[in-house]
Chains A and B, each alone.
Chain A
Amino acid sequence: MTRVLSPLLAWHASLSKQPFMAAAMQRIPVSLSWAAHDRRTQGPASQRTLTTSQVAPVIVARPTRALSDDKVDIIVENLQPNQPVTLYAMLMTEQKKLFESFAHYVSNKDGTVQVAEDESLGGSYTGCEPMGFIWSLTTAPETPSGLRVRKEDVTTPFIVHVSVFDGHVFERSPNKTALAVTEVERWFMAPGVKRVKVRQNGIVGTLFLPLGPGPFPGVMELWGGAGGLNEFRAALLASHGFATLVVAYTNHPDLPYPNYYIGVSDDYFQEAFHFLQNHHQIAKDRTGILGHCIGQYIALRMEIDMPNIRPRCIVGINGGHYWPVDGKTGYIFEIITKKLMNTQQYTEDNPLCMKPFMTHLLNKPSCHLDVGKIRCPILLFSSEDDQAFAAKETSLDIERKMKLAGNSHLLTRVTYPKTGHLIEPPFAPVTPVSFSPIPGIEDKVWLAWGGEKRSHAHAQDDLWQRTLSFLNQHLVLS
Chain B
Amino acid sequence: MEQFVRSFLARQVPCICDHLVTTALQRKLFSAKQITKIKVVRYSVQAVSAKQIAPLIIAKPTTALADETVQIHIENLQSNQPITLHSTLKTEQNDIWESYSHYISSSDGIVQVDKDKSHGGSYTGCEPMGFVWSLKPSPGSPEHSRLRKHDVTVPFVVQVSVLDGHISEWSSDQTALAVINLDFWYMDPGVRRINIRHNGIVGTLFLPAGHGPFPGIVDLWGGVPGLIEFRASLLASHGFATLALAYIGHPDLPYPKGYLGVTSEYFEEAYNFLKNQPQVVKDRIGIIGYCSGVFISLRMATEMLSINPRCVVGVSGGHFWAMSTRTGHLYAFMTEKENDFNIFNKKNPFIIKDMIPLPYEPSQEVEVEKIRCPVLLISGEDDQAFPSVEASHYIEKKMKEAGNSHLLSRICYPGAGHAIQPPFTPLCRLLYYSFPGFKERVWTLFGGEEKAHAAAQVDAWKQILIFLKQHLVLS
Chain A residues in the interface with B (C-beta under 8 A): 1, 4, 8-9, 12-21, 24-25, 27-31, 33-34, 36-37, 40-42, 45, 48, 53-56, 58-60, 63-67, 70, 78, 159, 161, 163, 177-178, 180-185, 187, 190-192, 211-217, 239, 241, 283-286, 310, 375-376, 475-476, 478
A182 touching B281 by the CB < 8 A rule? no
The 20 listed contacts between A and B (C-beta, < 8 Å) are: A9-B466, A12-B465, A15-B423, A20-B125, A24-B455, A24-B459, A28-B414, A30-B410, A33-B409, A54-B281, A55-B473, A56-B211, A65-B63, A65-B183, A65-B189, A66-B61, A161-B190, A190-B181, A212-B176, A376-B11
B63 touching A191 by the CB < 8 A rule? yes
Q: Residue B51 contacts which of A53, A178, A286 (CB distance < 8 angstroms)? A: A286
Instruction: Give every chain B residue within 8 A of A25 (Cβ-Cβ).
Output: 459
Question: Contacts A159-B189, A285-B51 given: A56-B210 contact, CB under 8 Å?
Answer: yes
Instruction: Give every chain A residue within 8 A of B25 (Cβ-Cβ).
Output: none
B180 touching A64 by the CB < 8 A rule? no
Question: Contacts A56-B210, A211-B179, A212-B179 given: A36-B215 contact, CB under 8 Å?
Answer: no
Q: Residue B63 contacts which of A13, A36, A53, A187 (CB distance < 8 angstroms)? A: A187
A29 touching B412 by the CB < 8 A rule? yes
Interface string of B420-462 (1 = CB under 8 A from A): 0001000000000000000000000000000110011011011
Residue tally, chain B, CB below 8 Å to A: 86
B76 touching A476 by the CB < 8 A rule? yes
A216 touching B53 by the CB < 8 A rule? yes
Q: Residue B475 contacts which of A8, A42, A182 (CB distance < 8 angstroms)? A: A42
Interface string of B9-30 (1 = CB under 8 A from A): 0010011000000000000000
Instruction: Give every chain A residue within 8 A of B284 (Cβ-Cβ).
Output: 53, 55
Q: Residue B53 contacts which of A20, A37, A70, A475 (CB distance < 8 angstroms)? A: A475
Question: Contacts A33-B408, A286-B53 given: A42-B470 contact, CB under 8 Å?
Answer: yes
B189 touching A183 by the CB < 8 A rule? yes
Closest Cβ–Cβ distance, residue B113 to chain A (whole Å): 13
B210 touching A180 by the CB < 8 A rule? yes
B185 interface contact, C-beta 8 A: yes
Instruction: Give every chain A residue within 8 A of B11 (Cβ-Cβ).
Output: 310, 375-376
A28 touching B412 by the CB < 8 A rule? yes
When chains A and B are docked, how far (Å) is the Cα of A284 from the Cα of B50?
Answer: 11
Closest Cβ–Cβ distance, residue A460 to chain B (whole Å): 21
B283 touching A24 by the CB < 8 A rule? no
Closest Cβ–Cβ distance, residue A406 to chain B (whole Å): 11
Closest Cβ–Cβ distance, residue A264 to chain B (whole Å): 26
Question: Contacts A182-B190, A187-B63 given: A34-B409 contact, CB under 8 Å?
Answer: yes
Closest A-chain residue to B155, C-beta based?
Answer: A191
Closest B-chain residue to A60, C-beta based?
Answer: B239
Instruction: Give every chain A residue within 8 A of B159 (Cβ-Cβ).
Output: 192, 211
Closest Cβ–Cβ distance, residue B455 to chain A (whole Å): 5
Instruction: Give every chain A residue within 8 A of B125 (Cβ-Cβ).
Output: 20
A182 touching B180 by the CB < 8 A rule? no
Q: Flag the segment in B64-72, B84-92, B142-150, B319-327 that touches A.
A: B64-72
Closest Cβ–Cβ distance, residue A65 to chain B (whole Å): 4
B411 touching A30 by the CB < 8 A rule? yes
A31-B410, A55-B213 known, 19 other contacts, Cβ within 8 Å:
A4-B474, A18-B455, A21-B458, A29-B412, A33-B408, A55-B215, A56-B214, A63-B63, A65-B63, A66-B63, A181-B190, A181-B209, A190-B180, A190-B181, A191-B180, A211-B181, A213-B54, A213-B176, A285-B14
Closest Cβ–Cβ distance, residue A117 to chain B (whole Å): 21
A15 touching B462 by the CB < 8 A rule? yes
Closest Cβ–Cβ distance, residue B307 to chain A (whole Å): 15
Question: Contacts A183-B189, A212-B176 given: A15-B67 contact, CB under 8 Å?
Answer: yes
Closest Cβ–Cβ distance, residue A444 to chain B (whole Å): 34
B189 touching A24 by the CB < 8 A rule? no
When chains A and B are docked, how far (Å) is the Cα of A187 from the Cα of B127?
Answer: 29
Question: Contacts A28-B412, A31-B396 given: A16-B65 contact, CB under 8 Å?
Answer: no
Instruction: Give every chain A residue within 8 A of B374 (Cβ-Cβ).
Output: 37, 41
Closest Cβ–Cβ distance, residue A255 to chain B (whole Å): 32
Question: Contacts A15-B67, A192-B180 given: A56-B466 contact, CB under 8 Å?
Answer: no
Closest A-chain residue to B424, C-beta based?
Answer: A15
Q: Residue A21 contacts which of B239, B459, B472 (CB distance < 8 angstroms)? A: B459
A21 touching B455 by the CB < 8 A rule? yes
B212 interface contact, C-beta 8 A: yes
When chains A and B are docked, how far (Å) is the Cα of A103 from the Cα of B387?
Answer: 54
A55 touching B214 by the CB < 8 A rule? yes
267-288 of chain B: CB within 8 A of chain A: 281-284
A53 touching B282 by the CB < 8 A rule? yes
B119 interface contact, C-beta 8 A: no
When chains A and B are docked, how far (Å) is the Cα of A331 from the Cα of B396?
Answer: 84
Q: Residue B408 contacts which of A17, A27, A31, A177 (CB distance < 8 angstroms)? A: A31
A64 touching B62 by the CB < 8 A rule? no
A63 touching B211 by the CB < 8 A rule? no
B56 interface contact, C-beta 8 A: yes
A283 touching B183 by the CB < 8 A rule? no
When chains A and B are docked, how far (Å) is the Cα of A13 from the Cα of B465?
Answer: 10
When chains A and B are docked, how far (Å) is the Cα of A25 from the Cα of B161?
Answer: 33
When chains A and B are docked, how far (Å) is the Cα of A116 from the Cα of B215?
Answer: 26
Q: Residue B469 contacts which of A8, A18, A20, A56 (CB distance < 8 angstroms)? A: A8
When chains A and B are docked, how far (Å) is the Cα of A394 from the Cα of B194?
Answer: 59
B47 interface contact, C-beta 8 A: yes
Closest B-chain residue to A212, C-beta based?
Answer: B179
Instruction: Give every chain A residue within 8 A of B65 (Cβ-Cβ).
Output: 64
Question: Contacts A4-B470, A37-B406, A64-B65 given: A215-B54 contact, CB under 8 Å?
Answer: yes
Instruction: Give every chain B residue within 8 A of A41 (Cβ-Cβ).
Output: 374, 475
When chains A and B are docked, how far (Å) is the Cα of A211 from the Cα of B179?
Answer: 6
281-298 of chain B: CB within 8 A of chain A: 281-284
Closest A-chain residue to B114, C-beta based?
Answer: A17
B210 touching A15 by the CB < 8 A rule? no
Closest B-chain residue to A61, C-beta based?
Answer: B188
Closest A-chain residue to B8, C-beta based?
Answer: A375
Instruction: Give every chain B residue within 8 A of A63 (Cβ-Cβ).
Output: 61, 63-64, 68
B210 touching A33 by the CB < 8 A rule? no
B345 interface contact, C-beta 8 A: no
B182 interface contact, C-beta 8 A: yes
